[in-house]
Amino acid sequence: MTLEELRKQIDVLDRQLVDLLNERARAAQMVGQLKAATSLPVYEPNREKIVYENIRAANQGPLPDIELTHIYERIIDVMRALQRNELASQRNNAQAAAASEPGLAAGASPPETGKG
């Protein structure tokens, strides 16, 4: 395969990666909506552990586990930021609703998270 062909292949793979990352982002946003709308615990430290175990178990190389983890740390950072926005948006809506019912307005906001 020529350099040109390899790069075309990489460009195709990158577009597939972008689609998958966006699909994952949509799911993370929906998790954020659920967390904001229900009484489920918002911060679940074991979830991140499961995400890393899952990707390492799926890893058949050539990426070493440590480099794959390195990429995933960034992916999870970004998903966390996205979910934080989702929670903040839901919380603002809830506060706007509560403002018309003063008895509910004192409820504490849940802490932010974003493990998905």
The stretch near a copy of itself (CB under 8 A) out of 65-73, 90-98, 102-110 is 65-73
Q: Which is nearer to a copy of itself, 62 or 102 (CB)?
A: 62
CB 83 within 8 A of CB 42: no
Q: Indicate whether 37 belongs to the interface with a copy of itself (CB under 8 A).
A: no
104 DSSP assignment: G
Which residues lie near a copy of itself (CB under 8 A)?
1-3, 6-7, 9-11, 13-31, 34-35, 38, 40, 47, 50-51, 54-55, 58-63, 67-68, 70-75, 77-78, 81-82, 116
